[in-house]
Every structure is written in C-alpha cells, then in structure tokens.
Amino acid sequence: MTFQDATGSQNNLGRYRPPLFVWLPASLVALLVLLPPVYLGVRTFTAYEAAWDLLANTRTLAIVGRSLLLVILVTAVSAVLGVSLAWLTVRTDLPLRRVFAVATALPLVIPSYVFALLVVVALGPRGMLQGWLEPLGVDRLPEIFGLPGAVLSLSLLSYPYVLLPVRAALHGVDPAMEEAARGLGRGAMATFATVTLPLIRPAVVAGGLLAALYTLSDFGAVSLLRYQTFTWAIFIQYQTAFDRTAAAGLSLTLVGLALSLVVLESRTRGRAVHYRVTPGMVRRRIPISLGRWRWPALLYVATVCGVALLAPLGILLFWVVRGVSAGEPLALLWSNTLSSVTVSLGAAALAALAGMPIAVLVVRFPSQVASALSRLTFVGFALPGVAVALAFVFFATAVLPIVYQTALLLLLAYLVLFLPASVGAIESSLRQLSPRLEEAARGLGRTPAQAFRSVTAPLLMRGILAGAALVFLLVMKELPATLILSPLGFQTLATSVWGAASEAFFARAAMPALMLVLTASVPMAFLVTREGR
Amino acid sequence: MHLNDLARLLRLRRALFAHPLLLIGIVLLSLSAVGCGADDDALVVYSGRSETLVQPVMDQFEDLTGIEVKVKYGATAELAATLLEEGDGTPADVFFAQDPGGLGAVEGMLSPLPAELIGGVPGWARSPSGLWVGVSGRARVLVYNPDRLSPTELPDDIWDLTDPKWKGRLGWAPTNGSFLTMVTGMRMLWGEEKTRGWIEGIVANDPRTYPKNTPQVQAVADGEIDIGMPNHYYLYRFLAEHGEDFSARNYHTPAGGPGALVMVAGAGVLRESDNKEAAERFIDFLLSAVAQQYFAGQTFEYPLVEGVKTNRLLTPLDEINQPTIPLASLSDLSGTTDLLRSAGALP
C-alpha cells in the first residue's frame, strides 16, 4: 500500500511522451469538444454589439446571480444526499441495501421536465397533496414555484451524480486504512470524518461538479418551476426572437461560467494522491453496524427514494390507469424503447472509448495541455443541448453533409454533451491504481499499449463501466439534441414523452416516461450488483 | 485444461468488457441498427406541431398517395433555428409550424406556393406572396375559472386587464409564440405607446409567468390564477382528459381587438427542396376536407377552408369579433420582443 503526496515524484512514466494510442484519440476528442464554443464564437462575433448590449443589461447580471445561487444550493444538497446515501448503502448493515443501492441511483434517469411537471401536480398550491390535506383545513400549500421548487427538483435529480462516483470510491478504499483507525480507538463517525472522507473527497468534488453543471444547463425544471436562470434566458432568445446571435452570446458566457466552476473543482479536489498497489481487495469488508440508528437510517433512505422515485412513478402510473380507463389505447412503445437503448448503448461505448485516453493523459502524463483538455470536456456538459446541437448542424451541413442526420453525428453530439461523466469515472479509478503496475509490465518487456490493455484496462473496469452506465442514463433522457440531430423519423422514449406532454396529453406521456425509468433501471441494477466484486 | 490456462481465460473474459474492440463493435452495431435517414424519394417534413397531433395526418397522406413521409418533430422555434443553420443544405421539403412567427423567421428560405393551391384559404390566414399558408385556426382567448368568476365579471376588452382589480389574479406566457404574435398584432392595432401601456399595466398587476400555455390552463383550474391568456384549444384537451368538472372555461373578448385575434398553424415549402411536387401535394392534402375535418374534430382547431364544420364545442369563427389584420403583416417579432423587454416582461 502506498500513500504519498503528489509533490513527491509519484509518476515515473511522466518523463515519457504520451504514446500515440493516447494522444491521437485524445486530440480527436479535443477537436470535437471545441466545435460548440467555436460555433458560438462565430455566431456571437458576426453581431457582437447586439450580444454585448444584452450581456451588459443589468437584468442579465441578476440572472447570473440567480443561477449561481441555485447552483450552490443544489450542489450542497446533492453532496449531502449523495455522500450519506452512498455510505449507508455501501458500508453499513442498512436493511435492503442492495435494493436501495439501485433505487437511490434511479432519479437520475427521470427527465427534468417530467419531474418538474410532477412536482407541480403533486405539490402545487392546489396540487394532489393539498387535495389530501383539504379535510384537515389546508386550503393552499406554500408556494413551490421559484427557488424552493427548483432546488427541490434539481437536487433530487442530481444527487446521483455525487452518489455514483462516491459509491465507486468507497468500494475502492482499502478497508485496512479504516480498520487501522478503528483499531487505534477512533469511533465510526470519527473514522468516517478523518479517514474515509479525505479518501473519497475527489469523488465528492467531481460528482458535485457534475451536479453543478447539470443545474446550470437545465431548462426543463427551471422553466416549469418558474425560476429564471441563465439557460432559461438562452432558451428565451431562441424561442421568442429566433435570435441565434443573442443566444450564442449568452451561451458563450455560460461556457465561461462553467469553466470557472471546473477550475474551482480542480482547486478544491485536493492534491493528495492515494492508491494501492494490490489491485484486488484482500478480504471482504465487514459492514459497519448501525445499531440503534438502523431504523432512522432506513426511514431516511426510504423517504428520499419515496419522494424522488416512488412518488413520480406513482403519479405516472396513475395517469396511465386514468388514461386507459378513459379509453386511451395502451401502447407499449417497444420500437421507441429499442431506439433509446440502441443509441444510449452506442453513446456509452463511444464515451468509454473516448474517455480512456483522456483519463490516461490527465492522470499518467500530467501537463498544461492535458489539464486544459480535461477542462474543455466539461463545456458540452454545461451548455444547453440546443446550443450543442445547432453547432453540429452548422458544421455538418457546411463541412460534412454526408453525416448530417445520421446516427453517427447524433452519437458524436452525445459524446460532446456527456463525455465528462465517463472521463470522471475512469479518471478516479485510475487515480486509485499505482503506476508501478504498468511500470512492472513495461519492465517485463510490454509496449505501453500492451501494458495498458493487459494491466490497466482490466483494473479500470469498474470505472469504465460506471462511466458508461452514467452516459447511458443521460442519453436515455436527452431531448434537445435528439430532436434536432436524430435521423429522420427516429423516435426515442424521451421524444415521445415530450411530444405528448407538451400538448398536455399526460396519459399518453406517462407510458413512455414509465418505460424510460424501467429500462434505465436494468443497467443500473447490473452496475450496482457487480460493483462490489 | 491446465489450471493456469483456465485462470488466464477467466481474466481475459473480464478484460473483454473494457476491450476497445468490443466497444468499437458496440458503437458500430448501434450505428447500423439506427440506420440512416430517408431514401431520396421520401418527403421530409419538419414539424413544429407535435407527433401526437399530426402523425395521423401524415399517415393518411402516405396511405392516400404512396409517398413516404419522414418527419422531424421539434419545437417550432428550435426547428426554425435548425433550418437557418442548415441554410441551403437543408434536407427539409416542408416546414409545418405552430405559428406564423416561425414561418416568418425562415421566410427567406421558402418558395412561393401556386395560387390555385392556397386560394381556398382566406387572405388573412396566408402570406400575400404565397410563401406560406395557414392550415388551421387558433383563437386567442381568456381562460377563467367558473367557480370563482362569472362571464359577466370578465372584461370586454383585453385592455381592461390592466385594471388594478386584477392584481395578483392573472397569468400569462410571455415567451409563447402565439402570445408574441398577439402582441405584434396589438402594436399594429393600438400603436406602440398603447401596447407598451398594456404590457406595463399587466406587469404592474404582478401576473404569474408560465413557460407555455398548458400549465397556464392547469393553473386556472387549480385556482392559482383567475384569468389566463392562452389559445383556445388547450382547454378542450383538458376537458377530454379530466371531464366536464375541470374548472376552466374559455372567453372571447366581445369588444374584439388584439385579444380576439385568430391565428394559424401553417406550412411552407423550402426553396431548396428537391421534392417540390410531393411537397405541394402535401400542402394540398393539409387543406383537403379530410385533413381539415381531422383538425376540427381531433385537435379542436378551426378549419380554414369552406365546407368543413367547426367542432360544435367551439365558438364559431363568425361569432368571434376578430380584428381584420392579415397575419402575414405580424412578422416583426424582434420589435415585439424589444418592446416586451423594455417594458419589463422579458429578460
């Protein structure tokens, strides 16, 4: 076991140039992620005066402030929920923890516009909850619109971004470290605070960054819950004035905002490097006994699952039943499900492929260029899907019309949108692996490529799968890029939900929404049941 | 088999999951499973109207003519932006938009339709140069909660909503395309100053702002607001799903003016279309009795050609005090958004 600081020479490979199989794919990906900002630049600077007027507007500044407030609150709540739920479901003897391990991750797959719609229906001033409380004399519920509703919805939708990497990190932590602390007389809480938390801190911060950027880019929830953010303002430009210039100017500003968050993340992640040389776990971990906290902990986890997952599913099911009893045909939408799964799988595999070289570059060959590249990958994640999609429309029709409206272009757009989810998971797995392993393989005469394939890649499995699963889920619910870039006639579950819900046909929207969540739970269950091995 | 070989085989299988070749295989499989695009003969329609509403019309057209139709569904504004980015490289043959604003935004990319094709549609509902034609009518209305208000308490004119007695009781969707078109009409009918006065008056009444019309109608039924300003047809969809006790009803302002504007969803043919004949047949079909009957019966819109009956649930078009301005003149959307912005209704 090694435990040392990055200020020491942690990496003997650092003096080598990155091999071709790392830098070539990494540069291709870099070109791809640069497309949206370049497009936005082109659009903005063709009429920069108008864009500048809009930006200098005091109202715009207020909107930036509101966005940041929302981002801070959502990230904080997500971190608390994500870390506590991960710890409870990985480390303790919580009852039904396998079930909860899957269930707590699933809210991620609910599209934000669906979740927000359900929040309004359930918790609106005269919503379902008010209806149940009416006999008790509750005439009106407190206002859900604005900041409270937006924080509630986005926190419940984005805590899985923290939960998933923290789960993986908790599994990767060598139990010997915590046992040593316990052996030295620390209590369970003190051990968690002084040993476990520092070890999982990079995962918490990386997950928090994804939650923050997701919040920044969300339009569905904030528009329905009427909290005016930056992305909302961007959409308004597209929607009201068909004004691509103003929208592009605002989007570029959003890129700047996102990059500052990314830099902030790398500053707060901490410099310490922790890894073990022994790849596998030496022996099984003994779950921490919750003792008398067992039932309160169960209540807590069940409440989160209830509010974030069961309640939305319940309302959707209620809509389906009401629709069917009113004569609505029960369509199971197998072909849409198949389409969703197909593109999501393809995008997940592509993101794993593209994520590996970038993660290797960043972790094993650290340099200015490498860290700039890894920061750039976050741009697409923070931008509204429309802006990324229009960038692809612009470049594809002008430069490579043959790929326009093909699945290839769609997968590439998904890659730009969701790459950080994959890179982040692979990166944190790689940071837990000692470079000594690859050095040993090199010492035994393997080429860098062989060493990566035979030693590193198999040990990175957990990270690669976790990243791929996350991308799969994100693509399942992606809407704006799917609508704009998909091949003609291509329909996914997400597009069906949107098509029906936007016209107030809730019964018809409920079925694809349910199928979306159910389909997505399959890879999630696979991931969770495998991750401990 | 030697034990070491077995161990190696097992390790190999584990490694396989992350093997680049396997991942490339999955990507290729996914690409081939989705397939690509339409064949060249297919008619390509960009539809800002949702699948739920218009797919049956597309299917009927296919059955009738044998022409394959490939549709890209999306929001009208986003499809218009997509068309503008595509420019001359657009694969689209027809743009079917929710509102005249979307069609106006891409007018420079449309080709004129033959007069005999669109002659049956009244002049106010189509572009004078024939670049696009209205397909179905949609009336601006006030939607109110009948449990809280009776029609006699409702204003004669949309101007009266600026009265302070409506403070905290109104809802609107100022980013909605139809709303913006109504305000453009208001500028034509009332002039800039009075329109600014109306917007400021509404803003002073502290309206609830909705992202679109649907939640506005829902909010009226929930008693969250007393009056909303949507298009007429949303109500009927709620009534169909929730039944008659859904607490919202439509109201057409009797004094007419911009509050009684009737707008259209419409379509145009792209100049760069290589399939113009099929595209024009499609427009012809949208204006046929069959399709018009569908819009009247199923989507609760107003048919725009002679001889097709309006849904009996709706107030007939000739009983609405509709202002006489051609919709094509309502194209100055940026003037409207500038005004809304400076009057504090938009960011």
Q: What is the CATH number of the domain that holds A328?
A: 1.10.3720.10
Q: Nearest 5°: CA angle at B330, between B326 and B334? A: 175
Residue B239 and residue A151: Cα distance in Å, rounded? 32
Q: Is residue A475 part of a domain?
A: yes
Residues from chain B that touch A499, judged by Cβ atoms under 8 A, are 50-52, 73
Strand, coil or helix: B75: coil
Say what the pLDDT of residue A156 is: 95
To test the contact with chain B by mutation, choose from A343, A488, A497, A527 the residue with the greatest count of B C-beta atoms within 10 A, namely A488
pLDDT, mean over chain B: 88
The fourth-level CATH superfamily of domain B43-137+262-314 is Periplasmic binding protein-like II (3.40.190.10)
Query: What is the topology classification, in CATH, of domain B142-260+334-342?
Result: D-Maltodextrin-Binding Protein; domain 2 (3.40.190)
Look up residue A302 and give its two tokens. Answer: 């069940």
CB A413 within 8 A of CB A384: no
Look up residue A394 and give its two tokens. Answer: 């612009």
Residue A178 and residue A200: Cα distance in Å, rounded? 12
Tell me if A488 and B37 make a contact (CB, 8 A cut-off): yes
CB B131 within 8 A of CB B139: no
Say what the pLDDT of residue A128 is: 79
Q: B49, B175, B98: which is closest to A247 by C-alpha?
A: B175
φ, ψ at A67 (rounded to 5°): -60, -45
Residues from chain A that touch B78, judged by Cβ atoms under 8 A, are 238, 386, 480, 483-484
Chain B, 16 to 35: residues with Cβ < 8 Å from chain A are 17-20, 23-24, 26-27, 29-31, 33-35
Question: Which range, of A195-199, A388-392, A491-495, averages the lowest pLDDT?
Answer: A195-199
Q: Is residue A424 part of a domain?
A: yes
**Average pLDDT, stretch A225-232?**
87
Q: Which amino acid is at B79?
A: L
Residue A123 predicted with pLDDT over 60:
yes
Q: Is residue A7 part of a domain?
A: no
**Average pLDDT, stretch B157-185?**
92
* pLDDT band for position A275 (cuts 50, 70, 90): low
The most confident of A23-27, A91-95, A350-354, A360-364, by mean pLDDT: A350-354
Query: Taking the domains of chain B in order of start, what are their residue ranges?
Result: 43-137+262-314, 142-260+334-342
In whole angstroms, how far apart are CA B135 and each of B120, B127, B305? 11, 12, 9
Residues from chain A that touch B105, judged by Cβ atoms under 8 A, are 242
Spacing of C-alpha A232 from chain mean position? 20
Q: Nearest 5°: CA angle at A280, between A276 and A281? A: 90
Tell me if B50 and A502 make a contact (CB, 8 A cut-off): yes
Residue B258 predicted with pLDDT over 80:
yes
Q: What is the largest CA-CA distance in chain B?
A: 94
Say what the pLDDT of residue A283 is: 55
Handedness of CA A428, A431, A432, A435 (dihedral sign): positive
Domain count, chain A: 1
Strand, coil or helix: A276: strand
Identical fold for domains B43-137+262-314 and B142-260+334-342, yes or no, is yes
Q: Nearest 5°: CA angle at B291, between B288 and B293? A: 100
Residue A353 and residue B19: Cα distance in Å, rounded? 9
Q: Is residue A8 part of a domain?
A: no
Residue B19 and residue B29: Cα distance in Å, rounded? 15
- Whether chain B has a CB inside 8 Å of the CB on A511: the answer is no
What ipTM does this complex have? 0.85
Residue A54 predicted with pLDDT over 70:
no
CB B322 within 8 A of CB B262: yes
Look up residue A286 and give its two tokens. Answer: 């003994």
Residue B109 predicted with pLDDT over 60:
yes
Say what the pLDDT of residue B169 is: 93
* pLDDT band for position A134 (cuts 50, 70, 90): confident
Tell me if A458 and B36 make a contact (CB, 8 A cut-off): no
Q: Is residue A181 part of a domain?
A: yes
- Residues forming a β-bridge with B126: B133
Q: State the DSSP code for B134.
A: E
In percent, how much of chain A has pLDDT > 70? 89
Residue, of B28 and A285, whose pLDDT is higher = B28
Q: Is residue A10 part of a domain?
A: no
Neighbours of B152 (CB within 10 A): 5
Chain B, 123 to 142: residues with Cβ < 8 Å from chain A are none
Residue A14 predicted with pLDDT over 50:
no
Shortest CA gap B315–chain A (Å): 21
Residue A131 and residue A141: Cα distance in Å, rounded? 10
Say what the pLDDT of residue A7 is: 38
Q: Is residue A288 part of a domain?
A: no
Question: Which range, of A276-290, A379-393, B29-43, B44-58, averages the lowest pLDDT?
Answer: A276-290
Residues from chain B that touch A223, judged by Cβ atoms under 8 A, are 211
pLDDT, mean over chain A: 83
Q: B344, B330, B342: which is closest to B179 by C-alpha?
A: B330
Residue A37 predicted with pLDDT over 70:
yes
Q: Is residue A4 part of a domain?
A: no
Chain B, 154 to 183: residues with Cβ < 8 Å from chain A are 175, 177, 180
Residue with the two structure tokens 């690409």: B31
Residue B40 predicted with pLDDT over 80:
no
Domain coverage including residue A229: 19-276+293-531
